[in-house]
Amino acid sequence: MPIPTSLVARCRRIALAIAVIGLSAPGLVPVPGLSATARAAGPKDRDADDHFGIAQVKFINEQISAGWADAKLKPSDAATDQEWCRRVHLDIIGRIPTTAELEAYVSDSTPSKRAALVARLLGDDYVDEYARNWADVWTTVLIGRSTENDNVNRPGMRQWLKRAFSKNMPYDRFVTELVTATGVNKAGEKDFNGATNFLSGKLEENGIQATAKTAQVFLGLQVQCTQCHNHPFNKGKQNQFWELNAFFRQVRSLRRFEGTRDVQAIEIVDEDWAGEGGDASQAELYYELRNGQMKMAFPVFVDGTAVDPSGYLPATMEDGTTYGVNRRRVLSELIVDSPLMPKAAVNRAWSHFFGYGFTRPVDDLGDHNAPSHPELLDGLAERFREQSFDVKELIRWITLSRAYALSSKVGKGNGVDDPSIGEKPRFSHFYLRQMRPEELYQSLLTATAADEAEDNGEKAARKKDEWLSQFIIAFGTDEGDEATTFNGSIPQVLMMFNGELMKTATSTGKGGFLDRIASSGLSNPQKIDALYAAALARKPTKKEVGLANQLLVARKGDAVGALQDVWWAVLNSNEFIINH
């Protein structure tokens, strides 16, 4: 049976498109579209930004440079304007820049343009996108990506986080409100408080998950395994887990069913707790050692600070005397006062912008896990506290640092700086990393200009959740673990090759992105340039232009079809899905 001519032609076009993908891999070809003069100006602009009146940036640069000297590393050259602009948009607002944003930055010749762009991305013009991106980041940190837990209301969590980040809530207040939240977790309900979603799905089995996640997220301590035994590697003891767990024994989650068998909402309340011995004035809990012996625990913080053992909530007697304690409120105060909290926050933020924190994993601090740059971690944590826990200022310091401005291309002097094989990161070049799935989703919308018509409310967020859910695998562990197949695996490849989002992105329908490019007054080479600028923030190489011309020939003059093939190939390239 003869093979249809149309299929042969299609295979030829796909082969050519795959060749385009191969040529687009980052680090394999020099980034085009930048003159030698502009390249030479890169380090000068970088230095101007480094000393934009920010002592904290200078401190970062000195500490990182000292690490290079100690390890005898020569840092990579500065990133190009296009690379840095794309990078900082992805990291701060969660998407690639539009062509207009890229052109505006590249054409700016002022020495402080990097500081100015960071200020804009952190300012009022981008407040909604900034809040959306960081709500995505922290929704994943606090409750994960899975939508299967009926005790968690993702829209409610997201709404609270968006408001917190749009107002630039100080991080100490952010932590306090999450740890102490009471109210209903579903928007639209009386007494709604979206912050309750952090704990609403973690209070079963006497709050084991609440204990582990609070320590992990806000203190950088891995305590989950110590519920059963002393930690085999760090100083964590079993009694410390249950002493921390005692802070959560006054909190309860109440399910609202509203006439159905399905949970409609969860209400978090604080109540007096009589303890497992029945005496609320000395409200204890009991836990079992591995040898079967039972031990007693009262609330004691990780630094050894003991708290009033009363299980009564604060109250005032008729004679005016007060008694009782709100254990969660005291816990939040101890967390905020602890030197571990700002260190954990700085470590997590640094990891967001560089792909690696100062420790691995990022939420495992302690003597057993020495940080790569201890003086820098401690110093940034101290400065973060002195800056009243201003998250935007921390972001500004990191993104204006010299290390963040380096190219991702490895040079002869820093080839050994490779944390992917277990080495401690030295940040002598920018580490390649795949976009988060949320970033890829938003970047596909931006590249195709689909975000112009996109509803920016909860409806759009639910569409994104539905798209993300295809990559999530939940595990039934005590910690509520989950994994993602958004890691170059078959589900991701199939989605990028032929998923609904990709079909929409490469559609040639009337009024769509490709139709507008095809029907514009641009020449064919200019149309190809427009596609590469929209997706990759650069111009195509000569070889890529040549392959595009071959696609046009294969399409027998069908310019729209050729543009579609090129666009599909560019969006499926490593260069598009990697932050570099």
Alpha helices in 418-512 (DSSP H): 437-447, 458-468, 490-498, 500-505
Find out whether 463 and 489 touch, Cβ atoms under 8 Å: no
Does 351 have pLDDT greater than 50?
Answer: yes
Would you say residue 486 has pLDDT above 90?
no
pLDDT given for residue 556 in this prediction: 79
Share of the chain above pLDDT 70, in %: 82
Strand ranges (E), 206-262: 251-256
Phi first, then psi: give them for residue 219, nearest 5 degrees.
Answer: -120, -10
The residue count of the chain comes to 580
pLDDT value at residue 160 = 98
What's phi and psi for 473, nearest 5 deg?
Answer: -125, 120
Neighbours of 419 (CB within 10 A): 17
Rounded to whole angstroms, how far apart are CA atoms 398 and 349? 9
Q: Give residues with Cβ within 8 angstroms of 321, minimum separation 6.
A: none
Q: What confidence score (pLDDT) does residue 45 get?
A: 42
Q: Which of 154-163, 182-191, 443-452 has the lowest mean pLDDT?
A: 443-452
The residue-averaged pLDDT of 559-570 equals 87
User: Do residues 358 and 352 lie in contact, with contact meaning Cβ atoms separated by under 8 Å?
Assistant: no
> 27-31, 542-546, 560-564, 572-576 — which is least confidently predicted?
27-31
Q: What is the pLDDT of residue 406?
A: 98
* Burial (Cβ within 10 Å: 0-12, 13-18, ≥19) of residue 45: buried
| Average pLDDT value for residue range 162-189 | 97
How many Cβ atoms from other residues are within 10 Å of residue 117's Cβ? 23
Distance CA 373, CA 360 (A): 12
Distance, in Å, from the CA atom of 111 to the CA atom of 538, rounded to the nearest integer, reads 22
Cβ atoms of 533 and 547 within 8 Å: the answer is no
Cα 174 to Cα 394: distance, rounded to the nearest angstrom = 15
Distance CA 228, CA 287 (A): 9
Residue 2's pLDDT is 44
Give the contacts of 98 (CB within 8 A, at least 6 positions apart): 446, 449, 534
Whether pLDDT at 29 is above 70: no
Question: For 302-341, what is each residue's pLDDT tens digit?
Answer: 999 999 999 999 999 888 899 999 999 999 999 999 999 9
Question: Residue 418 is encoded by which pair of tokens?
Answer: 């490779």
> What is the radius of gyration, based on Cα positions, of the chain?
27
Confidence grade of residue 437 (pLDDT, cut at 50, 70, 90): confident
Query: Cis bond leading into 361, ω under 30°?
Result: yes
Cα distance between residue 534 and residue 506, in whole Å: 13
| 239 pLDDT more than 50 | yes
Distance CA 537, CA 102 (A): 7
Beta-strand pair 265-270/294-297: unpaired
pLDDT at 100: 93
Helix residue ranges per DSSP H, 113-166: 113-121, 127-143, 154-166
For the cut 70, the answer to whether the pLDDT of residue 3 exceeds it is no
Q: Which pLDDT tens digit goes with each residue over 463-484? A: 787 777 776 655 444 455 555 6
Look over the chain and give the mean of its residue pLDDT values, rounded to a whole number: 85
> In this structure, how many other beta carbons lie within 10 angstroms of the beta carbon of residue 2?
5
Contact 438, 352 (CB under 8 A): no
Is residue 514 within 8 A of residue 567, CB to CB? The reply is yes
> How far, in Å, CA of 334 to CA of 571, rounded?
48
Report whether 256 contacts 264 (CB < 8 A): yes
With a pLDDT cut of 90, the percent of the chain lying above it is 60
